[in-house]
Every structure is written in structure tokens, then in C-alpha cells.
Structure 1
Amino acid sequence: MTATDAETDASAQSSETSAWQQRIEGEWHGRPSLFDAEGNHVGYEHVVRASVVDGDVARYWMRTSLEGSGPLRNRLELGAQFDFGIVDSDENRVYCGPDFYGTGQPYGLFVDAHYYSPGWQADLRTWNQVLPDGETQVYSSVLHDGWAVCAVFNGVYKRTSDHATNPQTQAFVDEWIAAETRRGSTPQVLPTKERGRWTGTLAVHGADQEPLGETEVVIEHEPESLRRARQRITWRGALDRSYALERSRDGARVQYDGPEVYGNAIAYGRALFTSQHLVGTDARGVEKIKGREVLIDPDTRDLAVVWQLMRGDTTSHVVHGLLSWEPQR
């Protein structure tokens, strides 16, 4: 079963549509996985959705079904398609009902959306990240009851423009869906017996959503046991940071045990949702990172990251992009 995110061709309206709307044109194919609050894989989501832009309003419909079992299927399986409007903007994309209410803020190739679903009776925090190739989208929706997580969807999509007519494209999509089905339930486990590093260039945006440039990031990774590793993370460019941490894994949960970062995280399959306090060498640091780190493919170990950098509890920057793995002896 295929999840297809179909955005109508709005090229004739490009002068009127937002930059984000133009970035997500085309058809997006994936098969998001569904997890319960504890990080257990419980099924897959089948989605078909489309949008039509009319002036500054995009009208969305979304048809969903689930493969799986348990209480989440009863809760999330609806007897009709979703339908909702979005006020198209690069500042605030407003979801104006009737089936979703809330807003989304684009930061270049990343959008942070927060909205409510009356049908699912859940508050959603959705992060959509288009990777630098422009053809890959990393998606997650964290569903909440109040402040408590009740379910998580996540997956990776590929874009096509001729799926309906091109047999080669159809074959590519079939292969991608099969691969996503295999990868979807795979827990995020970083290398346990191999040293190496992740490197890449990440985009930096201010809290006002304006681009501030790029930063080169290196994550040095040194396993200490099957469950523990030492890391040194360095940023150089639009933002400069350097900090070391010890991390340990216990099932789906990860702990950051100093010396310069404390916090924890939980994995929903390949996607690790992090909360880190950057205390520094003197334990007086005030910065925090709330992040999502997705190990796209356990074989290549490419890591799609979104880091919401905070000073106190106020967002200062959003940093996002793709990091590539380099093994070392």
C-alpha cells in the first residue's frame, strides 16, 4: 500500500504561492509507520492527499487508512476523508478547518506545524523536512493528549512528476515503498562497534524564519560498548558550537550523561526525538536543543537532522539538513 502526497501543479500561480508551497509541488510517495507512545511499532499509514491553490488559500483533502491493530487503529481510522483549508504563506500557514486547526511556520526547506485534529481528538506537532536534493521529504507527526504523547507517525517520501504515466517511475515508487516498509519499524541504533563521524552542511534560520547562512557540522562517534558511545559535536560557520557528550541506549530510550550535555531522547523507529541541555564545561550553559534525528537508511547511515536551538525556553535558531556517515579506523 502506498502513501501518496499529491500536490497539484501550481507553476502558473508561482508568483502567488508561497516558496514552501512551490517546494512541495508534485507527488510524494511513502509509507509512514505508526508507533505507540512507548516507541513500539504498531502499523503503517496509507495516505492519499492533494491540494489546490486558489488565491492565498490552499484547499486540502486527505484520505487515510491504517494497517495494524490495537486501540490506535480504532482511534485513528475514520469513515471519511479529511478536508481543510490552509492560508498559504511563508510566515504563517494557517490551517482553518474544518478537520485541522492551527498553524505552520516554514524555515527554508523545513516547516514546523502545530495543529489540532477534531477527528483524531489529538494535538499534532508535525515536522516536514525537504532534503537538499529537493526530491526527498522526511516527515513526522507527534500526536498528543494535552502534553502527553499518544502516538507518532514518521516516514520518508520521494517526489515524482509522472507517476501516473511512466512505468519506470511506477516501478521506482514500488521499490521505494517496499524499502520503506522494511525500514519503517527499524529502531535507531547507531554504530556499536565502528568508529566514525557524520559530516554535512546545515542551513541556519533565525527565530524570525529568516536565513542566516550555513554551518558545517561534524559529529565524532566512538562506541564504548553495545549500548554506550562518546560523541564530540562541532559547528563552524553561521553558528559556532562545540560540545562533548556520553550517550547510552536502553531500548527506545537514550540518555545524555554529560560532561557538557545532559538530557534524554526517545526513538520511534528510525526517528530519535531529543531534549538536550548544553550546560558547558562549567555547568552554567543556558542553551537547549529540541531535535529530531532520523537515520534514513541503516545501511548508508545518512542522518537527517532538525535542531531547534533555544536560549532558556525561547527559540533562537532552527538548524536543519543532511549529515553523511564516514567510517574511521
Structure 2
Amino acid sequence: MSDKQPSEWQKSITGDWHGFPAVYAPDGTHVGVNKVTRSSVFEDGKTTYWMKTDFDAVGQLANRFECGEFGFGVLDSDQNRIYTGPDLIGSGRPFGPLVDSKYFSPGWNTDLRTINHVIEERGVQVYSSQLFEADTLVAVFNGLYVRTHDHDTNPETQRTVAEFLENEKKIGKKPFLLPQKQSGTWTGNMDVYNVQQEKVGVNQVTIKYTPITLLRARMDVTIEGVINRQFSYERSRYENHHQYHGPDVFGNAIAYGRYLFGIQHFYGEAMKFWSRDVMLDANNTLCSMWQFYNSQQEEFTTFGVLDWTPGDFVLKAQYL
């Protein structure tokens, strides 16, 4: 028997996770779903990751990603989780309740960036995978997972999971849309980790949102805590393509259903941040991950849940 203990991340993901991630082509077209059950099991000093997949997709991606059951080794630690194959080869970086992984799938012939964020108070894991050939995006998977410990034996748990999965299957392809006519404010706390993966504090985030037209809005962002910044910009949307027009940050983003991936550059500085913003529910709740870079080098990884408080309707019916 080994006296090795599981990492804090490994402890946080014990149990079975059930999800129905949506599957997207590179341009953001929804092409199907993938029913998944997965678990990471620590036993006798060794960690094994299990995953069963069942794709229901159309076109080339359906043939490419149908692989059945995964079972691969993991060298578990809170600094690096190293995936030792045969299904996945690479590593993941834990930041408390979030892990940011980059690895290669020989069966899919893709390099992946996968982000899993466990929101304990909501009982869900917020998942996304961007799949690449070299630097070329070939697919995106994303969706929420729910955890169980007695799914195989408890009929009530089975019913709860079935209802959750059916709902995920329906709403997984819903587009990332901000309120078109109503102003409001997002507020919340985002945990802050440095490049050594140490938690160094919390940012208090406030985003004031004001629609200008049905496809354009003004954002006024205040960050206080470890990072102290105020910046404003106008954003626009065409289909699932988003653009940020300054004056303080410039950049763009593309949405894959409820998930928006973007990059914003601070004007006149060697600063930018990469973002993954997820519309969690019908109340416009955002689950955000913002990764800040200084002089092209990662400086802080921040993440948290931002709650929406509606304001006035600013685009009202017009009359002659």
C-alpha cells in the first residue's frame, strides 16, 4: 500500500461527473452533442482518469471524435497533473478549484486546451475544450457537468442526472447574448492566482453595461484588489463574432454557444487579457476566467462568478 496522498485538486473532483457538452465546428456552428461520464480515481497511490463518451454529431467531426472509453494515467500533484496516456498526453495546471490543461490526444490527433472550473456552491463544473491541429482550431466542446457519488445505485440520483442532461442538451447550443435593450451591472469576486499557482487575493469586479443599439453596448469595468484598474470600451456583435472598439481596450472574441473566448489589449501598454466568459443561466449570470499578460508573459489567472443586477430599459419602443 502506498502512503501517497491525493492532491487538493484531486480531492475536489472525487465522484462521477455527468455532462452533455455541445460540439462546435471552428466557425461556431453547433454540430452535435457528446454525452460524457468521467471520473478521476486515486487508488493505492495511483491516479486513473476514466471517461465514457457517446457522440451524436453530424459531418466530419462525428467520425473524428467517436472513441468510446478513455482510461489513462495521471501523475497527480497540485503543481502539475501530468497525463501519461495512452488517451491523453500532456499536463494540467491547478489553480485552486480550476485546472487549465494543455495536452495531446493521439486518437483524435488534436492538441487541446481544456479548462475545468468547479463551482462548489452551485454543484457544477464549467468545462470547455478547444481542439487544435498545431495552431489551427478544428473543434470546440463545452458544457456544464454535475457530480454524483451514488449514480449506479440510487434511482433518485439517476432521475436528477437524466433531467440535468436533458436540459443541457437543449440549452447547450444557446448563443452568448447580452441583454439587448436593458442596462445593468455585473458584480462579483474573482480569485487571483500568480504564475506560481498561489492564491494571492481576490478582485472585486464591477461591470456597468449600457446598450447603445441592438448590436452595440458600452462597458465600464472596475477591478479592485490585487489588480486595480478602470477601463471602458464599446463592444459590438455580428452573429457569434464580437469586437471591442476602445478607447481603453481593443480586441475581439468568438462565441461557441454560451461560451465566449476573447482577447483584449490595453491601449498604450504591454498588457492584455485572455478571457473565457460563460453565460451560466437565464439570469445573465457570468462565470468568467480572465488571464492577464504583461509584456506577453502570464502574470495573473483570475476567475469567479459575476451576478447580474438589471437596470433601466434604455432602448424603448420608438414612435413618429
TM-score (norm: length of structure 1): 0.91
Bigger mean CA offset, 237-246 vs 114-123: 237-246
Structure 1 regions of 5+ residues with no counterpart?
1-12
How far the C-alpha of 1:83 sits from its partner, in A, is 2.3
The match for 2:317 is none
Q: 1:25 to 1:294 in 2, by over 3 A?
A: same
Number of residue pairs aligned between Structure 1 and Structure 2: 312
The match for 2:241 is 253
Structure 2 regions of 5+ residues with no counterpart?
313-320
Is this contact kept in 1: 2:13–2:40, CA < 8 A?
Answer: no
1:57 is matched by which residue type in structure 2? Answer: K
Bigger mean CA offset, 55-64 vs 231-240: 55-64
Per-residue deviation, residues 207-257 of structure 1 (Å, max 9, x unmatched): 110001111101111111111010011111222111101100011110001
The match for 1:73 is 62
How far the C-alpha of 1:119 sits from its partner, in A, is 0.3
The match for 1:63 is 52
Once residues 30 and 245 of structure 2 are traced to their aligned partners in structure 1, the CA distance between those partners, rounded to angstroms, is: 27
The match for 1:10 is none
1:218 has 2:202 as partner: no
Once residues 183 and 3 of structure 2 are traced to their aligned partners in structure 1, the CA distance between those partners, rounded to angstroms, is: 46
1:51 has 2:34 as partner: no
Once residues 145 and 269 of structure 1 are traced to their aligned partners in structure 2, the CA distance between those partners, rounded to angstroms, is: 22
How far the C-alpha of 1:15 sits from its partner, in A, is 7.2
Q: 1:265 to 1:166 in 2, by over 3 A?
A: same
Once residues 201 and 52 of structure 1 are traced to their aligned partners in structure 2, the CA distance between those partners, rounded to angstroms, is: 31
Q: 1:169 to 1:312 in 2, by over 3 A?
A: same
Task: Choose which of 133, 139, 144 in structure 2 pairs with 1:156.
Answer: 144
Q: 1:32 to 1:20 in 2, by over 3 A?
A: same
1:64 is matched by which residue type in structure 2? Answer: T
The match for 1:204 is 192
Is this contact kept in 2: 1:287–1:309, CA < 8 A?
Answer: yes
1:52 is matched by which residue type in structure 2? Answer: V
Per-residue deviation, residues 172-204 of structure 1 (Å, max 9, x unmatched): 222211221121000101000000011111100
Once residues 177 and 325 of structure 1 are traced to their aligned partners in structure 2, the CA distance between those partners, rounded to angstroms, is: 25
The match for 2:179 is 191
Per-residue deviation, residues 98-136 of structure 1 (Å, max 9, x unmatched): 111101000111110000000000000000011251621
The match for 1:285 is 269
What secondary structure does 2:227 align onto? coil
Q: 1:289 to 1:59 in 2, by over 3 A?
A: same
The 5-angstrom pairing of residues 128-139 of structure 1 reads 128-133=116-121, 135-139=123-127
Is this contact kept in 2: 1:29–1:173, CA < 8 A?
Answer: yes
How far the C-alpha of 1:149 sits from its partner, in A, is 0.6
How far the C-alpha of 1:28 sits from its partner, in A, is 1.8
What secondary structure does 2:213 align onto? coil
Task: Choose which of 37, 42, 65 in structure 1 pairs with 2:26.
Answer: 37
How far the C-alpha of 1:308 sits from its partner, in A, is 0.7
Once residues 46 and 216 of structure 2 are traced to their aligned partners in structure 1, the CA distance between those partners, rounded to angstroms, is: 49
1:322 has 2:305 as partner: yes
The match for 2:157 is 169
Once residues 149 and 70 of structure 1 are traced to their aligned partners in structure 2, the CA distance between those partners, rounded to angstroms, is: 16
Is this contact kept in 1: 2:4–2:45, CA < 8 A?
Answer: no
Once residues 14 and 112 of structure 1 are traced to their aligned partners in structure 2, the CA distance between those partners, rounded to angstroms, is: 27
How far the C-alpha of 1:77 sits from its partner, in A, is 1.2
Q: 1:142 to 1:129 in 2, by over 3 A?
A: same
Once residues 134 and 126 of structure 1 are traced to their aligned partners in structure 2, the CA distance between those partners, rounded to angstroms, is: 20
The match for 2:5 is 16
Task: Choose which of 67, 74, 85 in structure 1 pairs with 2:73.
Answer: 85
How far the C-alpha of 1:309 sits from its partner, in A, is 0.6
What secondary structure does 2:151 align onto? coil
